[in-house]
Amino acid sequence: MKKIVGSPGTASGMLLRVGQCGFSAASIGVMAFTREFSGYTAFCYLIASMGLQLLWSFGLACLDIYALRRKRDLHNPVLLSLFIVGDWVTATLSLAAACSSAGVIVLYDRDLGICSAQTHLPCTKFQMAVAFSFLTWGLIAISSHVMFWILASI
């Protein structure tokens, strides 16, 4: 089985997982610090989706660290299939959450001009949380493509 950049059990794979954990935690942190998020379904969904992503990426980062320290090979077809399903599900949910929240923010900021009219709304924090969620999605998209490529080329 090929060992390419970002594959499980390698340092690059672990770095991708750590990056996903970091950006998803940052997205949750920034969004949860605003009190207003609970009134918006899209923002609640963003927190739930980023929470799931954080748990998934943290678990796989621990597995990568274990594989690196014990020099174990994680290129097992059953394990890879499990990683692929998880990666694709979390990647799709992360993109959906980021885009639905971005849709709400663009509506408030550009279409209705609510952000400039109601200055108590923490629009900048909402935007930061969405930006972090897009970064998380970018990294999980790389991971999921690498996994799919490895499994398909067996």
Q: Binding residues for a second copy, per CB under 8 A?
A: 39-42, 92, 95-97, 99-104, 106-107, 110-111, 145, 148-149, 152-153
Q: How far is the CB of 23 from a second copy (least distance, A)?
A: 18
- In which region does residue 34 sit, left (phi positive, over 0), alpha (psi from -120 to 50) or beta (all else)? beta
Token pair of 56, please?
């998934």
User: For residues 103, 104, 109 and 115, what is the CA-based torsion angle, rounded to 10 degrees?
Assistant: -170
Q: How far is the CB of 72 from a second copy (least distance, A)?
A: 25
Residue number with CB closer to a second copy (60 or 147): 147
Residue number with CB closer to a second copy (27 or 63): 27
Angle in degrees, CA 20, 75, 51, rounded to 5: 25
Q: Measured on CA atoms in the order 42, 141, 85, 19, is the torsion positive or negative?
A: negative
Q: How far is the CB of 19 from a second copy (least distance, A)?
A: 19
Residue number with CB closer to a second copy (14 or 93): 93
Residue number with CB closer to a second copy (6 or 63): 6
Q: How far is the CB of 71 from a second copy (least distance, A)?
A: 27
Residue number with CB closer to a second copy (68 or 109): 109
Q: How far is the CB of 134 from a second copy (least distance, A)?
A: 10
What are residue 79's phi and psi, to 5 degrees? -60, -45
Which candidate, 81, 35, 31, 80, places its Cα nearest to that of 51?
A: 31
